[in-house]
Structure 1
Amino acid sequence: MSAARVLVLAKAPVAGLVKTRLGAHVGLAEAAAVAAAALLDTLRACVEAVGPARCHLALAGDLSGAVRGDELVRAVNGWSVRPQRGPDFATRLVNAHLDLAPETGPVVQIGMDTPQVTPGLLTGAAAATEEYDAVLGPAEDGGWWVLALDDPRHAAALAGVEMSTPHTHHHTRLALEGRGLRVGTTATLRDVDTAADADAVSAGLSGGHFAHAWSNLREVGS
């Protein structure tokens, strides 16, 4: 198998633009700080999995104006960073994969909502592309948290798939299978979208930026 690449689709953590469902309960600035912490943990897991030279970030927004922006800029040192392109998330997702298509080898794509992701989960998804054309990791809310493709051009199948719904995982799988791809499944994770999600995810972590940020926020609010 060719060496895997990791692709992260993320928004710059700016108050009011990220984690708005969480922000309704804890405050928009506080939610952006939690998002920044989750993204820092995600970026670190990617680097530990494949090294910075094989890491790619498709970014919506500008890190210079983001919460913990200086730390995030340092965290993506050595990465390839491109702006997201397209009017909706499915289009931006497809374009981010196709930007990597000139190079062969598997691509493991994640977002910024699973700070509990580990390097082993990422490399495991990549390894599964030796048996499958595509590998999906379900999210507990009906979406998915990871998509590994043995060829990034397969992402074209996702054009038009409605994202961020309770049926996104199912519809994504159908779209990939409709292209004739063999689709495997990897671990199920919980996205952090609400305070209950953050409580559950942080409870399973022994450290990291996200666990620290959420613990501090809970202490202030108690």
Structure 2
Amino acid sequence: MIQPPRVALFSRYPEPGRAKTRLIPALGPEGAANLHRRLTERTLQALCASGLAHELRHTGAPEPAFRAWLGQALPMVEQGEGDLGARMARAAEATPVILLGADLPDLSPRHLQAAAGALRDHAAVIGPAEDGGYYLLGLREPMPFLFEPMEWGTATVFSTTMARFAAHGVTPALLEPLADLDRPEDLARWPGLLA
């Protein structure tokens, strides 16, 4: 029997000027940081409701700052040095694991449960993001080739990742696409988040 995966949620401390920087032109440093705070809290609520074991992979502030924000009970691990690929690779050394970002307003517990269920029958699962990246990556075994250098944050991340899967003979399960909230033009889609 395959053990249930743990979910590693990647999030930055909501410090004005350093969080959600692409939204600063529309919201200002404080507004962008506050939106990031709300998105992280929403994602954690979905994680708790999913029933899956989870941890916070944090960066941008010492752990006590995250504890003051998110509480003492949440397991936390510092993301560490390197680009996004290096940080995700560290989180994916122990499997099964689901890697997740915190900028998904439409993420629900069912998406997380679907990803965990897919890992019972597939070596990997991926959730495509509408911008050409991915919002979730689940692995039943380590696949370090997925985290080799690439242009993270671009519209080619999903296609490059799928090509790497194919080159290694892996056919991942696909989740439904979701939109992430990264750019000013994304804000109109979720007006309630700014209330």
Name the CA distance, whole Å, in 2 between partners of 1:86 and 1:134: 25
Name the CA distance, whole Å, in 2 between partners of 1:16 and 1:138: 28
* Alignment partner, residue 45 of structure 1: 46
* Alignment partner, residue 220 of structure 1: none
How far the C-alpha of 1:155 sits from its partner, in A, is 4.2
Name the CA distance, whole Å, in 2 between partners of 1:169 and 1:50: 27
* Alignment partner, residue 114 of structure 2: 124
Gap regions ≥5 residues in structure 1: 204-210, 217-222
Letter in 2 for 1:16: G
* Alignment partner, residue 141 of structure 1: 131
* Alignment partner, residue 77 of structure 2: 82
1:95 alignment partner, SS class: helix
How far the C-alpha of 1:79 sits from its partner, in A, is 2.7
Letter in 1 for 2:151: E
C-alpha root-mean-square deviation of aligned residues, in Å? 1.9
Does the Cα contact within 8 Å between 1:5 and 1:50 map onto a contact in 2?
A: no
Residue 150 of structure 1, aligned match among 103, 115, 140: 140
Name the CA distance, whole Å, in 2 between partners of 1:120 and 1:97: 22
How far the C-alpha of 1:42 sits from its partner, in A, is 0.5
How far the C-alpha of 1:87 sits from its partner, in A, is 1.8
* Alignment partner, residue 155 of structure 2: 166
How far the C-alpha of 1:146 sits from its partner, in A, is 0.6
Name the CA distance, whole Å, in 2 between partners of 1:158 and 1:181: 15
Name the CA distance, whole Å, in 1 between partners of 2:187 and 2:51: 27
Residue 179 of structure 1, aligned match among 168, 176, 182: 168
Gap regions ≥5 residues in structure 2: none
Deviates more, 1:5-14 or 1:30-39: 5-14
Name the CA distance, whole Å, in 2 between partners of 1:155 and 1:134: 13
**Under a length normalisation based on structure 1, what TM-score does the superposition of the two structures give?**
0.79
Letter in 2 for 1:39: T
1:6 alignment partner, SS class: strand
Name the CA distance, whole Å, in 1 between partners of 2:178 and 2:122: 20
* Alignment partner, residue 219 of structure 1: none
Name segments (4+ residues, structure 1) moved above 6 Å. none
Name the CA distance, whole Å, in 2 between partners of 1:186 and 1:93: 19
* Alignment partner, residue 13 of structure 1: 14
Name the CA distance, whole Å, in 2 between partners of 1:184 and 1:64: 37
How far the C-alpha of 1:156 sits from its partner, in A, is 4.6
Name the CA distance, whole Å, in 2 between partners of 1:58 and 1:48: 19
Question: Percent identity, aligned pairs only?
Answer: 26
Letter in 1 for 2:184: A
Aligned pairs, number: 193
More helix by share: 1
